[in-house]
Structure 1
């Protein structure tokens, strides 16, 4: 069962599970796992959605015995990450953590999802109830959007995070630049003509990011290769990609699973790919919140901790529990 909304679109969609078609796929960060949502994509009107029951009884119990990092452990690990960055002269490495919320008896899943949609109208919002793979999230990061008629491919460089009220510092500006360079260099392999926007503020609830948009025309047969080259982007991994990916799996104390992977959604007009950030894994007795940040040689571990706390609020503050 999946319900979702596209960015800047009030319409709600699901899948017709009587159909054998498959238009929605979740891919893990490491590319080794895929979760498919079978059925044709259908629009759900609000009245019908209000009558639907999304029961937390369909969720699995959390029996992972996973212990999240304490603040002190996170700060110590981040100092280790910064040493790796300095020793290898990396522009950026993304380090994440898993936060666990258990202070409830029951989650009102439908109401929590509705809150998420209202709080983030410019985000891709979804709730997936699929036994062991039940997730919910809302995020604005687009890995790619391909128009089947015009063959125009669009993507974005989104990096640097601050509370909305604060001004950008050199750290955030320098964090975003290599993300844009990485995307620009890949796209130029596929087209000599590349449209690139100015860098501007992208507001997402209580935080903001720096964003640059890119647009090119590609051959349809190049789409899958291009997506594989782009993922994982520096926004969720680091630069250089393969080295950072390998070190993330050594340094982080947990598997990312679907966090920082991507969701592919194919309609008649387009194929869209969304990076699965600001998300949580749902259990009957726990919610696992996944949060991370781009770390550079200039990073301040205390500030990075505060940033991950802010990011965890994206889902946490919208949960309806009893």
Structure 2
């Protein structure tokens, strides 16, 4: 079967005979087992880049270059041709008075989209008005990437925003508002900024996370070589195929046990804890209310089931719906984001509390990333994520605050969630340190 090199050559040859110019061309090929897709994507000199792997690992996508960019997903949805997809996401607080520097949303129709579905690979080229630009992009592709080393480094310093005393005061203010106002739940977050003794790339962190954190969506949005947002999130915002919609309430968290017995005991505690059950039900009720006007039918899993991840366990309830005709994916994005699982309830009151009390801007953290297409669309919630800007590495995590929440317990929950990515940073081997010292 055709390999990637032959597939690219086939596409380049086709460019000289195209008349009229189609929206896209696709060629199937066989991926080499000796090449890691993340390493291949990292080696390419074309931006923006996007990496996507679904949590069932069935779909994997490598996206390069832009034909068009969009700040409004609805505008994109109206111009997409059959089979085309735009990639990107929506931030939590971009283009607000508080966070002018971050985009509210960024989507792009890629020049090159390489897709694995199951074991089948294909490369697609989307065309604009300039075929020479497409040809130039294809000619830049590096076919044999260098291997990525593990994310080995020493953490020189760690800074939390808020600090624990600030966090404790913020929780007290939240519980007071929950007691005295209409606020039922607010999700408060922490940014953990690391100073490292060497640069760790987003691709190094992503590859290590993909290899260790199964049952997660894995994503990377790289606007340029120095600005990358990367994550491994367990939470789907929604998956939509035609009129079939799947979403979920993922809320309620406990850590993993040191032994199988401890793990089971923690799981049973989570399944029976009234505070976590209440937090999960709030998310279910919010999603159901937001979808009602868009759906012919709506079905919610009766009781939460357990989702076990490498560092934490969650309560989850599946929500499935049949959409009314003509409902757009961008309308679903507007309605569902931000969910009660990452903002709170009521949404406006929770967001106001977050803006007034959190000491940092969230940006892409707790937004949504994924794709919007003519046949189907899928987005995940951008938690368990990191913003990488040159030598700076910022990790994010949040905790749902409801009656009965305790500041110290929630702080430990943040630690467990951050460890999804933080634990991937391994100390350098002694031989490497000695070599550097010498």
Indicate whether the TM-score tops 0.5: yes
Shift of 1:155: 0.7
Counterpart of 2:245 in structure 1 is 153
Shift of 1:94: 0.6
Residues 250 and 317, structure 2, Cα contact 8 Å, conserved in 1: yes
Structure 2 CA distance for partners of 1:10 and 1:221, relative to 1, 3 Å: closer
Counterpart of 1:237 in structure 2 is 343
Q: What secondary structure sits across from 1:128 in the alignment?
A: strand
- 1:215 matches 2:308: no
Counterpart of 1:143 in structure 2 is 237
1:105 to 175, 198, 209: 198
Q: What secondary structure sits across from 1:189 in the alignment?
A: helix
Shift of 1:313: 0.7
1:29 to 49, 68, 92: 92
CA distance in 1, matches of 2:183, 2:220: 36
Counterpart of 2:21 in structure 1 is none
The answer for unaligned runs of 5 or more in structure 2 is 1-48, 69-83, 96-103, 122-141, 150-158, 257-262, 429-438
CA distance in 2, matches of 1:140, 1:268: 25
Q: What secondary structure sits across from 2:88 in the alignment?
A: strand
Task: Point out which structure has higher relative CO (alpha carbons under 8 A, 6+ apart).
Answer: 1
Residues 145 and 270, structure 1, Cα contact 8 Å, conserved in 2: yes
Please show how residues 5-44 of structure 1 align to structure 2 within 5 Å: 5-9=53-57, 12-17=60-65, 20=68, 23-30=86-93, 32=95, 33-39=104-110, 40-43=112-115
Counterpart of 2:354 in structure 1 is 248
Shift of 1:37: 4.2
CA distance in 2, matches of 1:236, 1:258: 12
Q: What secondary structure sits across from 1:12 in the alignment?
A: strand
Residues 108 and 319, structure 1, Cα contact 8 Å, conserved in 2: no
What's the TM-score, normalizing by structure 2? Answer: 0.65
Structure 2 CA distance for partners of 1:85 and 1:263, relative to 1, 3 Å: same
Q: What secondary structure sits across from 1:303 in the alignment?
A: helix
Deviations 1:28-68 (A, max 9, x none): 113641233441431377xx88725789xxxxxxxxxx972
What's the TM-score, normalizing by structure 1? Answer: 0.87
Structure 2 CA distance for partners of 1:7 and 1:175, relative to 1, 3 Å: same
Structure 2 CA distance for partners of 1:53 and 1:200, relative to 1, 3 Å: same
CA distance in 1, matches of 2:410, 2:180: 20
- 1:186 matches 2:258: no
Residues 307 and 316, structure 2, Cα contact 8 Å, conserved in 1: yes
The answer for unaligned runs of 5 or more in structure 1 is 56-65
Structure 2 CA distance for partners of 1:10 and 1:318, relative to 1, 3 Å: farther
Residues 99 and 290, structure 1, Cα contact 8 Å, conserved in 2: yes
Shift of 1:154: 1.0
What is the number of equivalent residue pairs in this alignment?
Answer: 308
Counterpart of 1:134 in structure 2 is 228
1:282 to 388, 391, 396: 388
CA distance in 1, matches of 2:184, 2:317: 18
Structure 2 CA distance for partners of 1:230 and 1:3, relative to 1, 3 Å: closer
Q: What secondary structure sits across from 1:134 in the alignment?
A: strand
Structure 2 CA distance for partners of 1:12 and 1:145, relative to 1, 3 Å: closer
Shift of 1:269: 4.0
Shift of 1:204: 2.3
2:399 to 289, 293, 296: 293
Counterpart of 1:173 in structure 2 is 277
Residues 185 and 402, structure 2, Cα contact 8 Å, conserved in 1: yes
Q: What secondary structure sits across from 2:363 in the alignment?
A: coil
1:116 to 206, 209, 217: 209
Superposed structure 1 runs of 4+ greater than 6 Å apart: none
